[in-house]
Every structure is written in C-alpha cells, then in structure tokens.
C-alpha cells in the first residue's frame, strides 16, 4: 500500500491482523523440488506492506503490531532486506509497532537513479523521509550491521527523536583510515564503470534452488532456512524462474567514507539508552574487536545507559537464532528510559 500525506496515519494504515497467535519464531519454510520456499509474513496475515513515496520512486517496508503501539524502526544489513527481522519481530513485546524497511536498492524498494551511488549518509536522509511520513516524534531503532551504522548516525543527528537504540553485531559507524584514500578512490572509479556495464545486461534468471544457493554462497552466515527468508523478499518471479531484486549498483565501492575521527564524533552524539548485542562469531571479528575498543568507551561515556551483551551465534544470529536475541531486546524495552545522559568525559 502507499503512504499518502493527505490522510491521518490510522486511516492510511490498513493493518492486516493475524488470525491466530504466533507460537513460534521458526521460519515458515517447506522443502520442494525447487528448494526451500518461505511463506512470507504478509501472506500469512502477520504484517502489512507499506510504501513511502520518494523523488525517485518508493521505499518499501512491512509492519507488525498495532499502529498505536510504541514505534520501532528496523534497519537491515548490507544486501539483506526487511525480512531480516521476520523471525525476531514475533518474539518482541506485543505493545510495539515495528516497521522494518527495505533500504533503497534492497528488497522491494526502488533503486536510486542510474549513475548515482549508495552511501550511509544517503540512507540517513532516506530514514528521515520515512519517519516524517509516519509522523513519528519519538521512536526506537533496531539496526543490524550496516543498518546499525545508519541507526547510530540517525541517533546522533536527531537525538531528541530516538528513545532507544539496539545494535545487532555492529559496534560503531563504518569508517576507514585516512591512509589508502587514493587507492580506494582508484578502485571505486574502476568498479563503478564495471558495474554500470554489467547493469546494462538483462538480469540473470535462476531456478529457485539456484537463487538460494547463490544467496547462501554470498552470505555464509545464514542458515538455509534463513536464506529462504531473505530470498522471499530479495527476489521476484519472472518467466522461466527468479531474478534478484537488489540493485547491482550496491556493489559499487563508496568514493569516500567516514574517517575514524568522524565516526567517533557520531558515537559521542548518541544520548539515548543503547543495547549492543555482539555475536561470538562476528564477521571480521578482529576488526570488530578493534572498533569495539574505540567505540564502547564513547557509548558508555555519552549515552544515558549502555549495555553490551555477547550472544552465541554468528553475524546473522538475530535471524538464524532469534530466540537467543529476543529476550535481551525485550528486557531492554521493559526498562525505564533514563532522561539525562551522564556528563561526557570523552
């Protein structure tokens, strides 16, 4: 459905209620000759599809719960989509209204115009477009990986709007050292032209089994069942099979990225309570450990409340084993929100 600014929010959100109580967080997947097929939450009456108009098309999303509930926005990781929260959302407190987005170029959202590039700073603006369309004045954020980086940026730039911030296997904004800038720019320019040339070709059509196999090969952290969950929203059926919906231009390297100093300034700007769930088998674990040593003291010194918990699993533990993650988030949402952050010393 499309979100229009001409009607009140409750009239715009025709929410489809579930016909029964959610008893399990397991993905509704079945094995067929074509591989695993995931029955999406919308088809099961558990969520409602949303579309938010933007100048180049629309941003897609899906919503769980009562629109009058406590608002929460979910942001997925790189090359994933809104389905990344499909197993987690049913296990969270029932008084939440949880909207999960497909960031531009992912899932069912429109790609950005040809010749332009994707950047976390642009996603910050895209998220704000959605927040304004929803009319939210105060809400919480749950972000995984790249989505966590965007959520940190939003929390710093709009501190009065964010009530709580949950980070799933992301210890701070994505940054790169000053050294190597020239080499990265060289690679980015080369990659841009390579991807644009590939984008001119017809999309490759896969069988369902082939599409799932390719997804799992590119993302070794998801189980086969979890891969089917992501594929349901990350592909569409065409004559002869399935094509991926994500924009090939997402593979372009960013021309520039945050410096470590800029990333640290953003972390200092986060004033709300923060829950950081770090996986024991985190992707690029050595790098995450180094980033954690820089960012964790800043979160502790500047946020009104900071909790770090290590959970057993890998980078996609929130999707693979949501029952491990959900109790910590539920506890976080049941706590009183501190109104004043501590006096920063960093």
Return the number of other C-beta atoms located less than 10 Å from residue 55's C-beta.
8
Conformation bin of residue 97: beta by default, left when phi > 0, alpha when psi is -120 to 50: beta
Q: Give buried/exposed letters for 325-335 (b at 16+ CB in 10 A, else e).
A: bbeebeebbee
List, in order, residues 6 or more apart from 101 with CB less than 8 Å away: 59, 60, 61, 73, 74, 75, 76, 82, 109, 127, 130
For the chain, the 3-state helix, strand and coil shares in percent, each to the nearest 5, are 35, 20, 40
Q: Which of 145, 149, 171, 282 is catalytic?
A: 145
What's the residue count for the chain?
346
Residues 144 and 318 sit within 8 Å (Cβ to Cβ): yes
List, in order, residues 6 or more apart from 26 with CB less than 8 Å away: 87, 225
235 as an active site residue: the answer is no
Cα separation of 51 and 281, whole Å?
A: 35
**What is the distance in angstroms between the CA of the first residue and the CA of the last residue of the chain?**
46
DSSP code of 15? Answer: P
Q: H helices within the chain, ranges in order?
A: 9-12, 120-134, 146-157, 181-199, 208-218, 224-234, 260-268, 285-302, 317-320, 322-334
Cα separation of 192 and 199, whole Å?
A: 10
Q: What is the CA radius of gyration of the chain?
A: 20
Residues 51 and 58 sit within 8 Å (Cβ to Cβ): yes
| Residues carrying an active site annotation | 145
């Amino acid at each position: 459905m499309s979100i229009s600014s001409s009607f009140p929010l409750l009239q715009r959100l025709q929410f489809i209620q579930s016909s029964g109580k959610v008893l399990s967080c397991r993905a509704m997947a079945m094995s067929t000759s074509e591989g695993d097929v995931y029955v999406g939450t919308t088809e099961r009456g558990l969520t409602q599809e949303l579309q938010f108009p933007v100048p180049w098309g629309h941003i897609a999303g899906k919503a769980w719960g009562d629109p009058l509930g406590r608002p929460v926005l979910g942001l997925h990781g790189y090359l994933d989509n809104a389905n990344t929260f499909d197993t987690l959302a049913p296990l969270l407190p029932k008084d939440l209204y949880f909207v999960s987005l497909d960031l531009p170029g992912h899932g069912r959202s429109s790609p950005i115009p040809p010749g332009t590039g994707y950047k976390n700073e642009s996603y910050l603006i895209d998220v704000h477009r959605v927040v304004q369309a929803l009319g939210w004045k105060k809400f919480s954020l749950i972000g995984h990986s790249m989505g966590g980086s965007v959520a940190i940026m939003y929390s710093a730039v709009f501190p009065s709007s964010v009530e709580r911030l949950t980070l799933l296997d992301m210890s701070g904004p994505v940054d790169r050292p000053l050294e190597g800038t020239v080499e990265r720019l060289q690679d980015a320019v080369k990659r841009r032209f390579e991807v644009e040339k590939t984008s001119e070709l017809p999309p490759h059509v896969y069988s369902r089994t082939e599409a799932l196999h390719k997804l799992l090969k590119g993302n070794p952290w998801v189980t086969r069942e979890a891969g089917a969950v992501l594929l349901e929203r990350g592909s569409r059926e065409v004559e002869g099979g399935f094509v991926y919906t994500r924009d090939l231009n997402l593979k372009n390297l960013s021309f520039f990225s945050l410096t470590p100093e800029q990333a640290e300034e953003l972390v200092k700007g986060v004033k709300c309570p923060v829950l950081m769930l770090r996986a024991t088998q985190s992707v690029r674990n050595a790098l995450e450990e180094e980033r954690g040593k820089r960012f964790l003291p800043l979160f502790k010194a500047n946020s009104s409340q900071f909790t770090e918990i290590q959970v057993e699993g890998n980078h996609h533990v929130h999707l693979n084993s949501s029952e491990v993650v959900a109790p910590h988030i539920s506890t976080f949402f049941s706590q009183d929100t501190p109104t004043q952050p501590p006096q920063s010393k960093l």
